[in-house]
Amino acid sequence: MTIDINPDLYAQVPDEHGRFGVYGGKFVAETLMSALAELEALYDSLKDDPAFLREFDLDLAHYVGRPSPLYEASRWSDMIGGGRIYLKREDLNHTGAHKVNNTIGQALLAKYMGKKRVIAETGAGQHGVASATVAARLGLECHVFMGEEDVRRQALNVYRMKLLGATVVPVTSGSKTLKDAMNEALRDWVTNVDDTFYIIGTVAGPHPYPMLVRDFQSVIGREARAQSLAIRSILLGQWQVHTLTRCSSAIFRV
């Protein structure tokens, strides 16, 4: 599979309707349309604002612990031969995953909007932990929706979320997993839209959320590029970049 990493491609999406080609858009209850428009307008005003970017970058450096290292998996490389394998160690971030890059950014937006409560959906629990962490840091009430089956399977992360002060809401509808957790979170948001910010953890949901997640996670690609250029034996043009996490989170830009 060939991936076009031409930066001009990413400058063109999403379009004015929030679409990434045939994907994207806004398909939510009418109650949420004004909230989404407000969020889009706020982000549009802040995404190039030096003060906002400085605050975000400081949080990434001094709270998340970025940059994450680029580590050569030398024995793995030797075992398969034909190239050198490097791992971008997002597991070494505060909270133990890449999810916090995005929750830091969205929590700052919630603060700018004056919201007092945040909600999130989670499957394996990492986004729930990251959301609970930034909510605790900013003094925000936090409710995390999690499929009942995932609550059972990910008991340790449930414990971590509760330890951070979040309320974990088991979802018993449907398959009792991530899809159903997101549906319940959207229902909650419809009911509490005035004081609640929904922190979505992946490139899903209505516009502008896929764009937000892409932009906040793009720090991974920027760092990886700079780190790779610092390794003299690597030719960036010969690199193949893959994600070792959920495919839906693999939208960061190189």
- Over 147-172, what HEC string results? EHHHHHHCHHHHHHHHHCCCEEEEEC
d(CA 171, CA 85): 40
Burial of 112 (0-12, 13-18, 19+ CB in 10 A): middle
- CATH number for 24-249: choose from 3.30.70.120, 3.40.50.1100, 3.40.50.1360, 3.30.1240.10: 3.40.50.1100
pTM of the model: 0.88
Q: Residue ranges of the domains in the chain?
A: 24-249
| pLDDT given for residue 9 in this prediction | 57
Q: Where are the alpha helices (DSSP H) in the chain?
A: 7-11, 30-46, 50-59, 74-80, 99-113, 126-138, 148-153, 155-163, 178-191, 209-230
Residue among 125, 119, 172 at smallest CA distance from 141: 119
Q: Which residues contact 169 (CB under 8 A, 6 or more apart)?
A: 143, 144, 145, 146, 184
Q: Which residues contact 248 (CB under 8 A, 6 or more apart)?
A: 202, 203, 204
pLDDT (tens, 9 = 90+) of the chain, 254 residues, equals 444 556 555 557 898 888 988 889 999 989 999 999 999 999 999 999 999 999 999 999 999 999 999 999 999 999 998 888 999 999 999 999 999 999 999 999 999 999 999 999 999 999 999 999 999 999 999 999 999 999 999 999 999 999 999 999 999 999 999 999 999 999 999 999 999 999 999 998 999 999 999 999 999 999 999 998 888 655 555 656 666 665 445 555 54
